[in-house]
Amino acid sequence: MKAAAAHEEDSLEVAAIAETKAGRPEAYEYLVGKYLKRVISVAWGIVRNADDAEDLAQEAFVRAYENIARFRTGDPFGPWIYRIVTNLSLDVVKHRSRVRQEALSEMEEGERRDRADLGARTNEIAARIDTALKTLPEMQRMVARMHLVEEFSHTEIAEMLKLSEGTVRSHLSLARRKLREQLADIYGGSDE
């Protein structure tokens, strides 16, 4: 039943892509509706700013639309749009670090504007994980967040960040060790 539903969904996506390619922009709305929330979330995970995440999601969808002719029919749209938004977000981060060197994450935490208000509504453990993630070096933090929070696979992360799968695993392994140390009081410090 689930497989049938997934197949149905995929065929809708394939049809939407084909129609968009044929010059019917209204068909693109299906793809926007399906992927928008996660695209915003991926962007937010990198830039940590709601306004920027919103703009980046918008830009990613417009770019994907403009280049839809190059998209191979039958391929899943998700990895492609995630890759576009990741690249755009990384450009923003690079630009920021060129413009000013100071850390932005703490300063902009207050700009999170979504249903999950970290301070008030999420539990203490999630807040501790968030704090621990913030202490990681940039690439480890990004990879760990994509894997733990966005639940992307190693392969998907490698594609999005233009890294090899081995590098992704290595970042993840280092991140895991540091997270485990920092969260030892919650999860225990060593293997049982």
Partner 1 sequence: MSEDRFFDRLREDARPLRFEPDEFMTTRVAARIRERIQSPATASQVLARWFRPLAASLSALALAATLGIVWIDRSSTPDTQQPTVESLSATNTIEISAGGDVYRVNP
Pattern 138-157, binding to partner 1, x per CB under 8 A?
-------x-xxxxx------
Residue that the structure tokens 């920021």 belong to: 96
19 by DSSP, 3-state: which? Answer: helix
Sign of the torsion formed by the C-alpha atoms of 50, 56, 59 and 60: negative
23, 100, 123, 185: which one binds partner 1 (CB under 8 A): 123
Pattern 48-77, binding to partner 1, x per CB under 8 A?
--x--xx--xx--xx--x------------
Query: What's the CA gap between 57 and 60, in Å, rounded?
Result: 5
- 61 vs 80, beta carbon nearer partner 1: 61
Which residue type sits at 177?
Answer: R
Pattern 9-48, binding to partner 1, x per CB under 8 A?
----------------xx-xx--xx--xx--xx--xx---
Query: What's the CA gap between 28 and 16, in Å, rounded?
Result: 6
122 by DSSP, 3-state: which? Answer: coil
- 15 vs 62, beta carbon nearer partner 1: 62
In sequence order, what are the residues at sequence separation of 6 or more whose Cβ sits closer than 8 angstroms to the Cβ of residue 86? Answer: 42, 46, 160, 161
User: Does the protein bind partner 1 through residue 110 (CB under 8 A)?
Assistant: no
Tokens encoding 119: 């301070």
User: Does the protein bind partner 1 through residue 134 (CB under 8 A)?
Assistant: no
Name the minimum Å distance from CB 122 to partner 1.
Answer: 4
Which residue type sits at 2?
Answer: K
What end-to-end distance do the CA atoms of the chain give, in Å? 39
Residues in contact with partner 1 by CB under 8 A are: 25-26, 28-29, 32-33, 36-37, 40-41, 44-45, 50, 53-54, 57-58, 61-62, 65, 112-116, 118, 121-123, 125-126, 129-130, 133, 145, 147-151, 176, 179-180, 183, 187-188, 191-192
